[in-house]
Structure 1
Amino acid sequence: MMLPEPQTLIPCPYESTCSGCQLLALPYGEQVELKKNELRALFLSHNLKHPKDIQFLSQGAAYLRDRLDYSLQDGRLGLYGKNSREIVDIEVCAQLSPELQAWYTEFRKIKWPFTKGSIRLRVGPQGERGVWLDFANIDIKALLDEKEILKSLQSQAFVEIGQRRKVPVWNGSEYKLKDPELHVWFTTWMNEVPVNLYCHVASFTQPSLKANRLIADKISAWVHKYPNARMIEFGSGIGNLTLPALATAKSVLACEIDALSLEGLEKTVLMLPSDLKSLSEKLTIYRGDFQKKILQDFSQFDGVLANPPRSGLMGFLNPLEELSPSERPPFFIYMSCFPESMAVDAERLQSFGYKITELAIVDQFPQTAHYEVLALFQRK
């Protein structure tokens, strides 16, 4: 992994109108320092002690995304304009991988019979194309009745429709919607072995296959510091962090609220390569709202792995507070794309006797103000 040249600038024809990339005018080297300094300032405002050196992990200054989320408005497909509620019609985007740009170019040829909606496009690990159409019910019905757009779309990609991720099926005379299907739309890593992750086009995943390798490798490296650790994970999702941890840990209890995500994780474990099958015996999957109530005894674990939503860990940390310092797990790995809530949780962890010993930014969103943070906390 090498950072691009510090003076790298990414050209974009929509720089003056699109709100998607806030840092396009800055050379990439300046973006790197800006993000590091913002994180330092945020942690300082919360009186958080952390390593002076913040690692910066990057797979490039652009062209990383294998998943996009755009809005449709009056025939325009793209993102909101600067200081505007109008969609900027975007033909090419420097955020997209070459494979996703090719898929998006084809997708843009469709003429939609309604005025607005949300669209997710994906390209899977082997180049598979997927689309999730999140439209109003009346527009979904119009699409099913019209037939031809769906027929054309399904000849190019796997299609999901609506919040329930239904799959349109042609029965010879009309379209019907059937239950969601799990397919391989993402990849994680167990040490040096790539592992297919089963999920839906609409599932939450990291945005970039290439950048995700950096995340998986960092999780693996930190868990390796504690061989045979008994771990509990909050927000396992489809298993993107679960499996890198499972490769080294003695056991992992994966906790998640979303049933569809856990269905994907269960299938992923079922379909593990033969030489990794035995690792599934170390995994326990548990469903519940762990921001509100956690039933597990944290003193039974050596490590915690957390990738919470934007709202942070909330009540998940309460059981830690009730334990004596010596009963608390020796280490805590925290990943977040919302540093503000992470800083609030880190304050509590610091008060429980934890110290940030390693801190990394994963630049999954170059050219934007957003970034992913990974932190290793160790008990004093």
Structure 2
Amino acid sequence: MAKLLKKGSFNRDERVLCPLQDLCSGCQHLDLTYGAQCDFKKDQLLQLFTEFSLPYLGSIQVLSAGPAFLRDRLDFSLEEGRLGLYRKDRREILDIPGCSQLSPVLQSWLSEFRKIQWPFQKGSIRLRIGPQGQKGVWLDFANIDIKTLLDEKTILHNLQKEALVEIGQRRKVPVWTGSEFKLRDPEMHVWFQTWMNERPVDLFCQVASFTQPSLRANKIICDVINGWIQSFPRSRLIEFGSGIGNLTLPALAAAESLTACEIDALSLEGLQKTLESLPEDLQVLRQKIEIHRGDFQKKLTQDFSQFDGVLVNPPRSGLMNFLSPLEELPANKRPPFFIYMSCFPESMAKDVVRLKECGYDLEEVYIVDQFPQTSHYEVLALLQRK
């Protein structure tokens, strides 16, 4: 399925060196070997299960794409000419010229980008590398600074020679009219990639859209999801938090049908364009999916008894009232399996307590370590109804 981190897979004694280790707040575990980092995350998750009285007799396996150079998306802050993350010793941005978290192509893009001399003091910046190596940048600045940038012209002209540029919370795209820059509506392009078995599928979204941070690590996530759903043939699925379709497409590859639920309109616009742009031999998938938009943390109108499985990837706050209709069903009407993906294990544990009360047991648990050197990790859990 995916490469397991066990003795022999990687050098457990490997350390990632960083000259900013004592100053940068971005990484918390540079003092540990990579093997020790993974053991720490497993122990932390098991301890969390114990605290929430969640019995799990299996082993937690760590799946990894490597100890460094994974990220294809970067979020830095700009402060008085410094571009980076907050310092450990004071509330001030530390200038970071290079980072071992970044893929080589993203590091190259950061090095180019750092040459810009900004005419203002503060803002947030996202750099992104797409699956075909294309460059993107999202400039999230105050309105007055955006006007300064539009009026200055030269920076935007030079940036657009290298990358697709998005500006502000509304993710507008600057367009040169011949005499000035105007901002037009957001655009959808291929900025990420999911997997259906061994087949890559392009995902349409924006530079500013939420995606997983690493194209390489995402392949591992897709393989696990697809493998689990294949073990429940011809399943009817409901998905909470479909986003741009990163888990939707791997699930569709093995499912009979899928109902996708998502609150963010722009994410669903990207998913719709992805479905419309599928290769001809995959167009049949469009007949297997139904898309619903709404705040499903507050209220879900779908009947869980119509589904064989549930696939969720919620925000940090967890599932909330999404689970209420499930709890109201008789035990024998609840879907046989439940797949939960989360980068916030505490809210996941709270939801799994509720699922336990609904008769679900933890069957398999993986950690996908797409945030090496940090305390963060992704959890994939398969639960089955007793």
Tell me the residue number matched to 2:183: 177
Over 3 Å off, 4+ runs: none
Superposed counterparts of 1:194-213, under 5 Å: 194-213=200-219
Q: Does structure 2 retain, via aligned residues, the 8 Å contact 1:51–1:359?
A: no
Superposed counterparts of 1:147-296, under 5 Å: 147-296=153-302
Matches of 1:112 and 1:49, distance apart in 2:
54
Tell me the residue number matched to 1:313: 319
Matches of 1:183 and 1:275, distance apart in 2:
21
Matches of 2:47 and 2:37, distance apart in 1:
15
Partner deviation per Cα, 1:305-350 (whole Å, 9 max, x = no partner): 0000000000000001101110000000000000000000000000
Q: Is 2:71 aligned against 1:65? A: yes
Q: Does structure 1 retain, via aligned residues, the 8 Å contact 2:58–2:364?
A: no
Q: Gapped runs of 5+ residues in structure 1? A: none
**Shift in Å, 1:240:** 0.1
**Shift in Å, 1:83:** 4.0
Matches of 1:14 and 1:158, distance apart in 2:
30
Matches of 1:29 and 1:56, distance apart in 2:
10
- Output the TM-score relative to the length of structure 2: 0.98
How big is the alpha-carbon RMSD for the aligned residues of Structure 1 and Structure 2?
0.7
Matches of 2:250 and 2:61, distance apart in 1:
20
Tell me the residue number matched to 1:359: 365
Q: Does structure 2 retain, via aligned residues, the 8 Å contact 1:189–1:213?
A: yes
Single out whichever of 42-51 and 213-222 deviates more from structure 2.
42-51
Q: Is 2:114 aligned against 1:136? A: no
Partner deviation per Cα, 1:215-254 (whole Å, 9 max, x = no partner): 0000000000111100000000000000000011010000
Matches of 1:52 and 1:326, distance apart in 2:
25
Tell me the residue number matched to 1:104: 110
**Shift in Å, 1:52:** 3.0
State the SS of the aligned residue for 1:95: coil
**Shift in Å, 1:280:** 1.2
Q: Does structure 2 retain, via aligned residues, the 8 Å contact 1:51–1:358?
A: no
Matches of 2:320 and 2:97, distance apart in 1:
41
Q: Does structure 1 retain, via aligned residues, the 8 Å contact 2:252–2:258?
A: yes
**Shift in Å, 1:51:** 3.5
Matches of 2:56 and 2:172, distance apart in 1:
46
Matches of 1:336 and 1:279, distance apart in 2:
26
Partner deviation per Cα, 1:293-313 (whole Å, 9 max, x = no partner): 000000000000000000000
Alignment length, in residue pairs?
A: 380
